[in-house]
Chain A
């Protein structure tokens, strides 16, 4: 009985470990289908392996050819990262999105990106400029980690000066706490 239990325990542990391990892909990790380093090939569609279903990335295609940023169905069409109050932490789903952008930049060295940082209206204006700058720097770090070059990325912080939504409640505020990715 004891041997059976130990065997079962080991089996459970091994299978649990296996599901944690992700293939060490050079392409963005996560739910993409067959991976490839080649900027010219379509890499796949997000959601293929069951992860990232129900997120904004579901169903988006992944490719890093030069015109991919003009394709509304591509994951690179997601250009806004949102944040919690007073925070410059990036969510897991948004980290996924940024990994694709970072990969695109690394495979297209002529491409350049402007990161525009914003906050909601609460708090003081100059402090919010600094906070929004922090958010943009967080985004830049993820992009650099994926191989983008520092001189491909410029950062402008607008603080609370350019809201996307004009209301004075959380419904508006959460749309304003953002970094926008603008390909130039």
Chain B
């Protein structure tokens, strides 16, 4: 993957290329990548830091997998990735390796009594075997300590490039088996970074990374702001707002080919793109007819339909899962509040939020039953959750400058933008508000996360 520094005002689109799922990585390419990582701060990895406790987490032991036929790959340490994913979910308390009294490699080696005494409920063992040139076989088994029985077991074929994704799939299987909820570890996030270059002008980047922060790739670099990344429901494209032409326009960017299309460059505001779950429509904010309003663009023929036409600010559209109504922010009652509007002709917006005088930036849960949003009171802006059915509201974070909530595709967590000691960072909170983790980029400011659908 090439990283190209832009010259002057013109931004460069860095093509991610076809995502190299099956191509073997040669040593030379690895060295180049290493060089790129060392010399380009933009490729710094998101570091995950756990900042809140893990009350009620399930004890589990993931024994380091045995590697045979070749060395353990430090960058694709399968059992370490599984452990890290389960820990990050907030629902598991993995036993640290130094506390493991035994490290069984086969079912026959497992002494269930010892593990019961250690208070571990679930045990994962596995191995990674190099069986050919850059060809691996990965196997894992999940055991229930109390019954002494195997609960789950899978094997996979992989190469050095796909090993991390396999590890995330393993974590997803374990998570779903033990919690009943599908995992969201084999997913990616898109986000915007802003870094002050030497010379003082900030450089903006749209980046995509694995949800654990690995494999960051830059899709766009620009000396002008980039905003509002929104992942399409099929995971193939990202919509965003770019000011690269001196004014805001909405682009659709194919993440596999790097090709992109400018779909909205009307006079005034072109903002807030949102893909309908059925993939047919993009909602957007346009002010071309005199005032910021919500419009719908059909992806088949690019035709526009105006949805709101109130003199107030109407923006930040978010779709309900049936693609038949949207939630949006409107100042029509004086201050920003959330409203829901059916797409049926003649429908009127129904106000959803009544507490406080600033409620904006909705993200709808995958099951459509709750909305994460930004709730402001005084100088403090926090992420809150609204139940559609009961209309009750719960704040999930402490602020003071939390924004851009994005639901995980399994509805279990909400990614959002926060501030830590003056630096913009990403953070994640579980929907019950109990578990919170911070993800920190090593350099620069990170914001506006968007979570991909499951791969």
A127 and B361: CB pair below 8 A?
A: yes
Interface membership of B243, Cβ < 8 A: yes
Shortest CB-to-CB span from A141 to chain B, Å, is 12
**Residues 290-315 of chain B: 1 if any A CB is under 8 Å from the residue's CB, otherwise 0?**
00100000000000000000000101
- Residue numbers in A under 8 Å from B292 (CB-CB): 129-130, 133
Say which residue of A123, A127, A129, A131 sits within 8 Å of B248 (CB atoms).
Answer: A129
* One of A1-9, A29-37, A95-103, A152-160 at the interface: A152-160
A162 and B225: CB pair below 8 A?
A: yes
How many A-B pairs have beta carbons closer than 8 Å: the answer is 82
- Residue numbers in A under 8 Å from B243 (CB-CB): 156, 158, 161
Output the nearest chain B residue to A158 by Cβ-Cβ distance: B225
Say which residue of A122, A126, A134 sits within 8 Å of B381 (CB atoms).
Answer: A122
Interface membership of B448, Cβ < 8 A: yes
User: Which residues of A137-163 are within 8 A (CB) of B?
Assistant: 155-159, 161-162
A161 and B313: CB pair below 8 A?
A: no
Say which residue of A121, A126, A131, A133 sits within 8 Å of B316 (CB atoms).
Answer: A126
Interface membership of A22, Cβ < 8 A: no
- Residue numbers in B under 8 Å from A158 (CB-CB): 225, 243
Shortest CB-to-CB span from B426 to chain A, Å, is 15
- Residue numbers in B under 8 Å from A121 (CB-CB): 401
B336 and A129: CB pair below 8 A?
A: no
- Residue numbers in B under 8 Å from A157 (CB-CB): 248, 268-269
A156 and B247: CB pair below 8 A?
A: yes
Interface membership of A125, Cβ < 8 A: yes
Interface membership of B66, Cβ < 8 A: no
Q: In the complex, given contacts A127-B361, A133-B269, what are 9 additional A-B residue pairs having Cβ atoms less than 8 angstroms apart? A: A123-B403, A124-B361, A124-B404, A125-B361, A126-B329, A127-B331, A134-B313, A158-B225, A168-B419
Residues of chain B having any CB pair with chain A under 8 Å: 225, 227-228, 243, 246-248, 268-269, 271-272, 285, 287, 292, 313, 315-316, 329, 331, 335-336, 358, 360-361, 374, 376, 379, 381, 401, 403-404, 419, 422, 448
Q: List 5 A-B contacts (CB under 8 A).
A: A124-B316, A127-B331, A129-B271, A158-B225, A161-B225
